[in-house]
């Protein structure tokens, strides 16, 4: 459950961070071989070396040698909180423009281009100054004309081309309240070239291709208008912070400011905050400390520092009575209840953090057990967020059918009252702290997670020692302190925001002013990139997995096959029992595994069972998919025997309960109602499945409400218990595999003869072409997927597929992105890919996506279809894509449990070895003619089913009819959610 909220926070660019104190005695200062001073920190699991260059630039270095890659982050303490009040959205728009190059990157003739860019800047100032609508339009036509002329001297996407040529992954950036962060993950041998690019990029800001990127920001703003959760979240912030920028302005900005940008203001903001003493270079991965800091200093040490003063804001007045707000939209209803706290480094941060996990930890928190386990609400949880000035603690709930949002709010607040009354077990505090320690172990296994933790510390002015000590410091907090704090701070001082079904009367759509497509000049290159390409980094040697050696084989005493992989990193383990059957073999099995989560045994109530697992620090899981079922546990190796014993106890002794089952059915039905309000689910689940399978799909093969109610819950429990009688295999990842196998032999009892799986239902994928499936949905934008069924999976095409996707359809330097977004500004999001089947004898698919304003859709469709019919030939771009693909394979390492799961995926495709060697060798020898042949055979001339979701009153239905026969589908029909109580029961 908590994962949902962490994902939500990630989308909103928020992070849970730790307290700040003065530098402590546990920090040590050292000097390396080159004379650079750095700090280290006691008991630091990340092994951080923190450097401060002479110009104030912070450099965070940490090592992780699992793969030859380095996660890079360049962080700036500058975000939407510091946007001028009359230019909101500025920091975010600046983030977009930092990708456009400098006077050296992205230009053919800087002196000529600069004159035109200065003219464009002056025109934008005139545009901003006038209030006459007609005069604004006239000025914008001038801007468009001069921009078209300026584009003749620009070269689009040179930055993206360069980092792509390194084999970089995840190239992106994000802006939040107090941060703007630029992201790449690079092969470690490409560090020098990456530094060459970044030191030039951050040395200077050039606002080229400004108005086309502004169109992209308009699209992003309009996409935000379609996000009910974002609107609800912003309403919370408005209530919590009525006078602070946290609540008065958003990262995307106000529509009137987006429509009246100032290039001068953007330059001023950049000059103020993008200075070395307000920035950090964060590198985590396969690096050498002494040589790396020397290289970073060579690249960035020459930057000139400036005095930086971040704005301060008047203190918010206390909230003395509940503040209640409503937002409306088409998605499912929910309520947020938020309490304002002080920010990072405040005295109460640790206490609030601990209270939050006592309330909701996904297993044994008060909300988890009292509300979710007992099915008193459809869903509930909580999370915290701490920024520099303030933080908040937010409780979240979704109602059951016929339950009001006010009732959900009261139930959430009742759990807070239990904290205030001390109505929670004493052991829970220690268990929460142990759980957090386990989470830290998992987090710091990964170089990227380490880098983001260091980033948080920098943005929030944190002493890293305090981050290291944070969880341990929680031990000093007593139950009495928690109770006292809760009574003092959790009163009627909350903000409640009700998200209700209905039309939003406050939708603001930024209309595109209309632009002339700019020139990309993809056949040109700057002197900078010419010199850049002359430098060759030492090549990495690809490493391939010998699965026979990497996956060890064993057998339990009762004959179960065991595959195991040693964990050489820490003391965590994963244990899986795998059944190669699923919902396709038995329609009831997914119902049964879901029902098990709400049951107790003859020894434990459902709540007690969750508590026992949590005390052990063990997570258990029982899940089913279409063709596999997983039952297992994970946690600390020392608790494996007890955890397995508890799992087996549940497996053997689960007790059905009719009342619990009735609530479970009601929850399923409410979940269906909620699911059909989510546009992403409608498009990428409902429409996509319908486009492939038609009526007879796995998605539509579900029980009706009457059928669900008629099922015997005892039968479902027996389904789960009977699993142990079917063929199964074991996967173990951890230390001491002999002890793990012995524990399975002792505690997992199975009969000597295991049953074969029931025959699986087969769903036939239909031919595509000539159909346009449309769903009417209340939204600002419209979204479309083109889907074409291709030939069956062929391993020989894996290499060409990967190269094609890199060159043509995915990434910032791809053909599709350049043409549809960069040149024509027809969509914020557009991509295309050739998707290979996950199983042998199954078809591949060509898929393309466009998300844009409804009035742009016809032009965007034309642009996409032209590309899908006639692939542009850009030989330099092809060579760059080829080089990038080879470098990614060379830097790729399959480790830990990924070894097993990658082998499983290969076997599903009829392959018994690591295919990357064949792919690498094939790509090395590929020419553009080979790629063209692949395109002609697999992409060009395909017959598409077109899947569309949008507001019918805005979508050009006549334009859709040109693509095929338009069939408007009812959402209930799409998912087969009609109630069919009167039909014959088919159990």
Judge whether 824 lies within some domain: yes
Tell me, yes or no, whether 606 and 678 share the same domain.
yes
Q: Which residues of 44-81 are buried (b: 16+ CB within 10 A; e: fewer)?
A: bbbebbbbbbebebbbbbbbbeebbbbbbbbbbbbbbb
Q: Can you give the pLDDT at residue 25?
A: 56
In a domain, 142, yes or no: yes
pLDDT recorded at residue 979: 53
DSSP 793: P
Residues 6+ apart with CB under 8 A from 279: 57, 58, 74, 75, 76, 77, 202
Name the more confident of 221 and 94: 94
CA distance linking residue 293 with residue 273, whole number of Å: 23
Q: Which of 708, 732, 747 is the last residue of a domain?
A: 747
Range among 107-121, 246-260, 842-856 rated most confident: 107-121
Asked, for residue 271, whether it belongs to a domain, the answer is no
| C-alpha dist (Å) from residue 273 to 56, 202, 218, 245 | 13, 11, 24, 17
pLDDT digit string, tens, across residues 99-155: 999 999 999 999 999 999 999 999 999 999 999 999 999 999 999 999 999 999 999
State percent of the chain over pLDDT 90.
Answer: 87
Same structural domain, 717 and 785: no
Q: Closest by alpha carbon to 471, among 434, 431, 441, 442?
A: 434
- Give CA–CA dist 679/779, Å, rounded: 9
Mean pLDDT of the chain: 93
d(Cα 120, Cα 122) in Å, to the nearest integer?
A: 5
Whether 23 has a pLDDT exceeding 70, the answer reads no
**838 and 731 belong to one structural domain:** no
Helices assigned H by DSSP within 304-446: 349-359, 366-367, 405-420, 427-443
DSSP 804-820: HIIIIISSTTSHHIIII
> Which residue intervals of 99-167 are DSSP H helices?
110-129, 133-150, 158-165
Report the number of distinct structural domains present in the chain.
3
pLDDT confidence band for 3 (50 / 70 / 90): very low
Q: Are 675 and 785 members of one domain?
A: no
For residue 21, CA distances in Å to 310, 390, 459, 473, 648 come to 20, 16, 15, 12, 46
Domain CATH number, residue 896: 3.30.830.10
Q: Is residue 539 part of a domain?
A: no
Render the burial of 257-273: b for 16+ CB within 10 Å, e for the rest.
bbbbbbbebbbebbebb
Token pair for residue 785? 């997927």
Q: What is the pLDDT of residue 985?
A: 36
**Does the residue 680 lie in any domain?**
yes
Q: Measured between alpha carbons, how far apart are the two ends of the chain, in Å?
A: 31
Q: Has residue 285 been placed in a domain?
A: no
Question: Is residue 704 located within the same domain as residue 835?
Answer: no
- Which stretch of DSSP H or E encloses residue 589? helix 589-596
Confidence of residue 12 (pLDDT cuts 50, 70, 90): very low
What secondary structure letter does DSSP report for 534? H
Sequential DSSP letters for 327-348: EEESSPPEEEEEEEEE-TT-TT
List, in sequence order, every beta strand (DSSP E) within 506-559.
552-555
Q: Alpha-carbon distance 556 to 567, whole Å?
A: 20
Contact 931, 804 (CB under 8 A): yes
Identify the pLDDT of residue 215.
Answer: 77
Decide if 372 is inside a domain. Answer: no
Cα 783 to its chain centre, rounded Å, is 20
C-alpha–C-alpha distance, residues 695 and 689, integer Å: 9
Residues 823 and 678 in one domain: no
HEC profile of 892-944? CCCCCHHHHHHHHHHHHCCCCCCCHHHHHHHHHCCCHHHHHHHHHHHCCCCCC
* pLDDT, tens only, 880-924: 999 999 999 999 999 999 999 999 999 999 999 999 999 999 999
| Host domain of residue 793 | 771-963
Do 74 and 280 form a contact (C-beta atoms < 8 A)? yes
| Count, residues in the chain | 987
Residues 695 and 823 occupy one common structural domain: no
Is pLDDT of 10 > 70?
no
780 pLDDT above the threshold of 60? yes
For the cut 90, the answer to whether the pLDDT of residue 172 exceeds it is: yes
Q: Do 708 and 827 fall into the same domain? A: no
Three-state secondary structure call for residue 37: strand
pTM over 0.95: no
Burial 780-801 (b: 16+ CB within 10 A, else e): bbbbbbbbbbbeebeeebbbbb
Mean pLDDT of 211-230: 82
Same domain (yes/no): 732, 786: no
Sheet holding 829-835, edge to edge: 829-835, 843-853, 781-792, 945-950, 771-776, 965-968
Tens of pLDDT, residue by residue over 607-660, are 999 999 999 999 999 999 999 999 999 999 999 999 999 999 999 999 999 999
Burial track 348-378 (b if 16+ CB lie within 10 A, e otherwise): bbbbbbbbbbbbbbbbbbbbbbbbbbebbbb
| Mean pLDDT computed over 297-324 | 97
Q: Are 649 and 613 in contact (CB under 8 A)?
A: no
pLDDT tens column, 456-475: 999 999 999 999 999 999 99
**What is the structure's pLDDT at 777?**
94
Residues 719 and 655 in one domain: yes
Would you state the pLDDT for residue 8? 42
Residue 726 lies in a domain: yes
Residues 821 and 891 in one domain: yes
Starting from the edge strand earliest in sequence, which strands make up the sheet with 390-398, in order?
323-329, 494-501, 334-342, 390-398, 379-386
Q: Is the per-residue pLDDT at 809 higher than 90?
A: no
> Does residue 786 surpass a pLDDT of 80?
yes
Answer whether 399's CB lies under 8 Å from 407's CB. Answer: yes
Residues 719 and 832 in one domain: no
Q: Determine the average pLDDT of the residues in 43-67.
A: 97
């Amino acid at each position: 459950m908590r994962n949902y909220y962490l994902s939500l926070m990630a989308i909103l660019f928020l992070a849970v961070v730790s307290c700040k104190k003065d530098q402590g005695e546990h920090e040590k200062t050292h000097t390396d071989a080159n004379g650079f001073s750095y700090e280290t920190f006691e008991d630091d699991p990340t092994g951080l070396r923190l450097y401060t260059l002479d110009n104030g630039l912070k450099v965070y270095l940490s090592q992780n040698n699992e793969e030859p890659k380095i996660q890079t982050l360049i962080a700036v303490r500058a975000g939407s909180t510091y946007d001028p009040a009359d230019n909101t959205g500025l920091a975010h728009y600046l983030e977009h423009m930092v990708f456009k190059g400098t006077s050296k990157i992205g230009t053919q003739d800087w002196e000529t281009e600069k004159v035109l860019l200065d003219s464009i800047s002056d025109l934008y100032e005139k545009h901003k100054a006038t209030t006459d609508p007609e005069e604004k339009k006239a000025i914008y036509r001038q801007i468009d004309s001069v921009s078209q002329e300026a584009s003749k001297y620009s070269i689009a996407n040179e930055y993206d081309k360069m980092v792509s040529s390194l084999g970089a992954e995840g190239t992106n950036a994000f802006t939040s309240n107090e941060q703007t962060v630029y992201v790449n993950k690079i092969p470690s041998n490409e560090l020098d070239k990456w530094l060459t690019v970044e030191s030039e990029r951050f040395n200077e800001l050039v606002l080229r291709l400004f108005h086309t990127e502004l169109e992209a920001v308009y699209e992003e703003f309009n996409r935000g208008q379609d996000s009910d959760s974002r609107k609800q979240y912003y309403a919370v912030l408005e209530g919590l912070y009525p006078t602070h920028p946290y609540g008065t302005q958003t990262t995307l900005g106000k529509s009137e400011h987006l429509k009246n940008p100032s290039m001068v203001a953007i330059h001023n903001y950049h000059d103020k905050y993008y200075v070395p003493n307000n920035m950090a270079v964060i590198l985590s991965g396969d690096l050498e400390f002494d040589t790396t800091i020397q290289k970073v200093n060579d690249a960035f040490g020459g930057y000139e520092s400036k005095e930086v003063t971040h704005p301060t804001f008047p203190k918010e007045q206390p909230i003395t009575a509940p503040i209640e707000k409503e937002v409306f939209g088409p998605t499912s209803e929910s309520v947020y209840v938020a309490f304002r706290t002080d920010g990072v480094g405040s005295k109460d941060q640790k206490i609030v953090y601990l209270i939050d996990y006592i309330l909701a930890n996904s297993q044994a928190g008060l909300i988890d057990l009292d509300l979710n386990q007992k099915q008193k609400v459809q869903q509930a949880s909580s999370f915290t967020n701490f920024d520099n000035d303030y933080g908040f603690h937010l409780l979240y709930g979704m109602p059951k059918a016929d339950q009001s949002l006010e009732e959900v709010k009261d139930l959430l607040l009742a759990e807070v009252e239990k904290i205030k009354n001390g109505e929670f077990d004493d052991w829970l505090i220690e268990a929460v702290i142990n759980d957090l320690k386990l989470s830290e172990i998992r987090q710091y296994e990964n170089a990227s997670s380490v880098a983001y933790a260091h980033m948080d510390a920098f943005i929030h002015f944190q002493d890293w020692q305090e981050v290291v000590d944070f969880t341990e410091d929680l031990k000093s907090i007593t139950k009495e302190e928690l109770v006292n704090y809760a009574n003092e701070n959790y009163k009627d001082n909350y903000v409640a925001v009700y998200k209700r079904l209905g039309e939003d009367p406050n939708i603001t759509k930024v209309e595109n002013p209309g632009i002339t497509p700019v020139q990309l000049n993809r056949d040109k290159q700057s002197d900078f990139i010419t010199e850049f390409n002359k430098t060759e980094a030492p090549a990495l040697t690809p490493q391939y997995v010998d699965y026979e050696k990497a996956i060890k084989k064993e057998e339990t005493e009762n004959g179960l096959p065991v595959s195991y992989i040693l964990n050489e990193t820490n003391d965590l383990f994963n244990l899986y029992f795998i059944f190669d059957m699923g919902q396709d073999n038995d329609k009831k099995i997914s119902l049964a595994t879901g029902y098990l989560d709400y049951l107790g045994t003859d020894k434990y109530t459902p709540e007690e069972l969750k508590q026992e697992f949590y005390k052990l620090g063990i997570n258990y899981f029982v899940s089913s998919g279409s063709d596999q079922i997983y039952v297992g546990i994970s946690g600390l190796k020392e608790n494996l025997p007890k955890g397995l014993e508890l799992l087996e106890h549940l497996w053997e002794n689960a007790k059905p309960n009719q009342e619990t089952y009735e609530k479970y059915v009601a929850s399923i039905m409410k979940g269906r109602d909620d699911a059909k309000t989510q546009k992403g689910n409608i498009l990428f689940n409902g429409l996509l499945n319908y486009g492939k399978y038609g009526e007879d799909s796995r998605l539509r093969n579900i029980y009706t409400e009457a059928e669900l109610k008629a099922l015997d819950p005892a039968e479902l429990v027996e389904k789960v218990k009977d699993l142990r009688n079917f063929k199964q295999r074991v996967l173990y990842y951890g230390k001491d595999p002999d002890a793990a196998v012995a524990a399975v032999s002792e505690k997992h009892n199975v009969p000597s003869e295991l049953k074969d799986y029931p025959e699986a239902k087969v769903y036939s994928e239909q031919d595509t072409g000539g159909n346009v499936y449309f769903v009417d949905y209340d939204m600002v934008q419209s979204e479309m997927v083109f889907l074409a069924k291709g030939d069956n999976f062929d391993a020989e095409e894996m290499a060409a597929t990967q190269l094609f996707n890199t060159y043509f359809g995915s990434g910032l330097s791809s053909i599709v992105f350049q043409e549809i977004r960069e040149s024509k500004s027809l969509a914020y999001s557009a991509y295309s890919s050739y998707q290979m089947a996950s199983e042998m004898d199954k078809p591949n698919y060509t898929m393309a996506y466009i998300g844009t304003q409804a009035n742009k859709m016809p032009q965007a469709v034309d642009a996409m279809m032209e590309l899908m019919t006639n692939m542009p030939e850009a030989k330099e771009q092809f060579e760059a894509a080829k080089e990038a693909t080879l470098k990614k394979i060379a830097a790729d390492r399959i480790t830990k449990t990924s070894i097993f799961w990658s082998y499983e995926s290969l076997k599903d495709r009829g392959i018994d070895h690591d295919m990357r060697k064949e792919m690498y060798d094939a790509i090395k020898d590929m020419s553009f003619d080979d790629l063209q042949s692949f395109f002609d055979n697999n992409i060009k001339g395909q017959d598409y089913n077109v899947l569309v979701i949008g507001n019918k009153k805005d979508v050009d239905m006549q334009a859709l009819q040109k693509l095929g026969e338009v069939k408007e589908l009812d959402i209930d029909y799409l998912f087969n959610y009609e109630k069919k109580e009167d039909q014959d029961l088919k159990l």
